[in-house]
Amino acid sequence: MLLAVAIGGVLAWLAVSANKSAEPPEETVNATLTVDLSEEISGSPPEHSESDAEVESAHSEPADQKASEKAAAAHDASDASGESSAAPETDEKHAATEDAVPALQIPLVAPSVEVEEIIALALPDPEMLQETSRGALPIISHDGREPWREYGRKVGPAGDLPRLAIIVTGLGLSSAATETAINLAKEVTLSFTPYGTDLETDVAAARRAGHEVLLDLPMEPVSYPADDPGPHTLLTSLNPSDNIARLKWLLGRFQGYVGVINFMGSRFTVSPEPLRPILHALKERGLMFVDSRSTSKSVAAGVAKQMALPRAINDRFLDHEPTRRAIDQSFAEAEGMARGRGVALVVARPFPVTLERLAAWLPVLESRGIEIVPVTALADTQANR
């Protein structure tokens, strides 16, 4: 009897032990639930897949860190509840909001993207330069590349919005004015005087910031010599070879410009005979000419069109009267011209009040339905007048 009782007890103990070993330990259940929850939370909604990819490519380490933090949070939640049900709808919305934040911060945390956007201009190309005693002069390359095209900003084809080009001239003399102009929107074209003391540095800074660059070309005014544009001014009294020699000196002052704009010139630009050799020389070097229309009688744009020289025409000086009220009125009229004609070009000087009004006016133009473009975008798009 005692032996039978002992054997029965052993068998009962073995049966109980077998049943316990068949049940999964609590740790195993928790681990399985943790995996399920992590997979559910880590899956992003389809509408956020593109933004998440952009975030990962822009800054992968912060994205990985955020995913790890979400997985850790899910693990803690599963340990605490022991349930495998999906998170509430409010939690899903919160997760979607968190997923959207990195996409909005990309321009702020990825300066390399912004730098790529700003540095959009080709560097001066030795194949488009002619070394002379007067400096390196622009030329058309052997394969036909022209400086006015190669050194310009690349813009898309014209759309439905009217286009407005803005040129700030006379830069390079005042370091403060030059720096302020460079900080304007990159679509503004900057034109530098040939008489600046640090032109190479200033022009390089302007082009790094994305601005197209022109050269101020001094031409004889009707009030000459009382009003003298400066050394090497092109004069109606000189023969063509002397004016060409002066032109070469002026063109050699710096590099990387798309063309020239006449500075003064109310006498020179109404005189076809001295004007024609200058414009022909600009065409042979692959440059663009901008007629500032210092006089309404200028024939420069018409002569340029006859010889197929790329040209643009100034429609208005923004700061003919350099006061805030007058400049604001000129801005409003410039908008009207752009809407009425489809394209317009205005010229400004680097007065402090002009630069201040430009800085305030430019950011709102897009919202007012005006597209700001560099001067090359207006090449041969304006009617002569």
Q: HSE (CB half, 13 Å, CA atoms) of 176? A: 5
Which pLDDT score, from 0 to 100, does residue 11 have? 59
Which pLDDT score, from 0 to 100, does residue 2 have? 59
The structure tokens listed for 109 are 């945390």
Write out residues in the chain with pLDDT < 50, as ranges. Answer: 16, 20-118
Which pLDDT score, from 0 to 100, does residue 384 have? 85
Q: Answer whether the bond into residue 218 is a cis peptide, omega within 30°.
A: no
Which pLDDT score, from 0 to 100, does residue 106 have? 27
SS3 string, the chain, reads: CHHHHHHHHHHHHHHHHHHHHHCCCHHHHHHHHHHHHHHHHHCCCHHHHHHHHHHHHHCHHHHHHHHHHHHHHHHHHHHHHCCCCCCCHHHHHHHHHHHHHHHHHHHHHCHHHHHHHHCCCCCCCHHHEEEECCEEEECCCCCCCCHHHHCCCCCCCCCCCCEEEEEEEEECCCHHHHHHHHCCCCCCEEEECCCCCCHHHHHHHHHHCCCCEEEEEEECCCCCCCCCCCCCCECCCCCHHHHHHHHHHHHCCCCCCCEEEEEECCCHHHCHHHHHHHHHHHHHCCCEEEECCCCCCCCHHHHHHHCCCCEEECCEECCCCCCHHHHHHHHHHHHHHHHHHCEEEEEECCCHHHHHHHHHHHHHHHHHCCEEECHHHHCCCCCCC
pTM: 0.70
347/293 Cα distance (integer angstroms): 10
Helix axes 89-109, 60-81, angle to 10 degrees: 160
Which pLDDT score, from 0 to 100, does residue 266 have? 98
Which pLDDT score, from 0 to 100, does residue 3 have? 62
Identify the bridge partners of residue 73 per DSSP, sorted by sequence position.
none
247/232 Cα distance (integer angstroms): 8
The domains found in the chain, sorted by start residue, are 50-118 (no CATH), 141-378 (3.20.20.370)
Task: From residue 296, give the alpha-carbon distance in Å to each of 171, 271, 315, 316.
Answer: 24, 13, 10, 11
Kindly tell me the burial class for residue 175, based on how many C-beta atoms sit within 10 Å of its own C-beta (0-12, 13-18, 19 or more): middle
The structure tokens listed for 354 are 């002009």
> Each residue of 129-138: b (16+ CB within 10 Å) or e?
beeeebbbbb
What percent of the chain is modeled with pLDDT above 70?
69
Which pLDDT score, from 0 to 100, does residue 385 have? 76
Which pLDDT score, from 0 to 100, does residue 158 have? 87
For the chain, first and last CA: distance in Å? 129
Kindly tell me the burial class for residue 46, based on how many C-beta atoms sit within 10 Å of its own C-beta (0-12, 13-18, 19 or more): exposed
Which pLDDT score, from 0 to 100, does residue 4 have? 60
β-pairing, 135-138 vs 129-132, is antiparallel
The structure tokens listed for 153 are 């900003």
CA gyration radius for the chain? 35
Which pLDDT score, from 0 to 100, does residue 309 have? 98
